[in-house]
Structure 1
Amino acid sequence: MMKIAIAANKKGKVLKEKVKAFLAERHYEMMDQSSSDIFEATMNIVEAIKNKTADKGIVIDEYGVAPFMISTKNHGIICAPVYDDYTSKMTRMHNATQIITLGSAISAEPFACQLALNFAESEYDGGRHQVRIDMLNKMV
Structure 2
Amino acid sequence: MKIVIGNDHGGIFLKEELLLVLAELDLEVEVEDIGCHTCESVDYPDYAVTVARKVAGGEADRGILICGTGIGMSIAANKVPGIRCALVHDVFSAKATREHNDSNILAMGERVIGPGLAGEIVRVWLGTEFTGGRHKQRIDKIAEFEHSALQE
Instruction: Give the structure-2-normalised TM-score.
Output: 0.87
- Equivalent pairs, count: 139
* Residue 116 of structure 1, CA deviation: 1.1
**1:7 and 2:6 correspond:** yes
**1:47 and 2:53 correspond:** yes
Following superposition of structure 1 onto structure 2, how do residues 48-87 of structure 1 map, counting pairs within 5 Å? 48-87=54-93
**1:94 and 2:100 correspond:** yes
Q: What is aligned with 1:30? A: 31
The aligned amino acid for 1:131 is: Q
Question: Which of 119, 127, 130 pairs up with 1:124?
Answer: 130
* Residue 44 of structure 1, CA deviation: 1.2
The aligned amino acid for 1:21 is: L
* Residue 49 of structure 1, CA deviation: 0.5
The aligned amino acid for 1:67 is: M
Structure 2 CA distance for aligned equivalents of residues 48 and 32 of structure 1? 12
* Residue 72 of structure 1, CA deviation: 1.5
Contact 1:75 1:139 (8 Å CA) reproduced: no
Identity %: 31
CA radius of gyration, larger in: 2
Uncovered stretches (5+) of structure 2, i.e. residues with no partner: 37-41, 147-152
Structure 2 CA distance for aligned equivalents of residues 45 and 117 of structure 1? 19
**1:16 and 2:22 correspond:** no
TM-align CA RMSD: 1.1
Uncovered stretches (5+) of structure 1, i.e. residues with no partner: none
